[in-house]
Amino acid sequence: QAAPRGIEHDVDGGKQDLFDINEDAGLDLFEGDILFDEKLGRNS
């Protein structure tokens, strides 16, 4: 039975996972969420 719907605040803004969040934030990190470190000796 459906109940009346009041005010609802979506804390996720519909973004499903962290890669959506990072993409939305304009981040283009190594593999989505990894800090690039020169000591690794590789780049993307």
Partner 1 sequence: IIGEEYRWPRMVPYYLEDDLEINAKGVILKAFEQYRLKTCIDFKPWSGEQNYISVFKGNGCFSSIGNRRVGKQTLSIGSGCDRLATVEHEFLHALGFWHEQSRSDRDDYVYIDWDQITEGKEHNFNKYNDSVSSFLNVPYDYGSVMHYSQKAFQSGSEPTIITRIPDFKETIGQRMEMSQSDVRKLHTLYHCNKGGSSTFLDSCDFETENICGMIQVSGEESRASWQRVSSAPGGPDTDYTQTGRCAGGGYFMHFSAVEPESSSQLESRFLYPKRGFQCLQFFIYNSGDSSDRLRIWTREFDLHDSNGTLRFIQEIYAPLSDAWHIQHVSLNTSKKFRVLFEAVAGKRTLGGLSIDDLNLWEGSCPEHVWRIRGFSGVMENTSVDSAIYSPRFTSSLGYSFQVSLYPNGTGSNPDELATFLHLTSSDDGDDENDDGLVWPAQWKQMSVTMMDQNPDIRQRMSNQRSVTTDPNMKLDGSEGFFWDDPRKVGELVTGEDGSRYYRGPGAGTKVFLSRPRALSRNFIKNGDSLFLLSMDDLSHLVAPQPLPSSTVPPPQTGSTVTGSPENRTTTVSSTSGFTNATTSTTTAIPASSSSSVTSITNSTLTTIPPSSSVSSSTEPPTDPCVSLQCENDGVCVLDEANLPVCRCAAGSDWWFYGERCEFRSSTHNLIVIAVISGVCVFVVMLMASGVTTYLCVRRQKRRATLPADWLF
Residue ranges in contact with partner 1 by CB under 8 A: 1-19, 21-23, 25-40, 44
Minimum gap (Å) between residue 22 Cβ and partner 1? 4
**Shortest distance (Å) from residue 17 CB to partner 1:** 5
- The span from the CA of 42 to the CA of 1, in Å, is 56
Using a CB cutoff of 8 Å and minimum separation of 24, what contacts does 16-21 make?
none
Which two three-digit tokens encode residue 35?
């800090």
Q: Considering the complex, what minimum distance in angstroms separates the CB of residue 41 from partner 1? A: 10
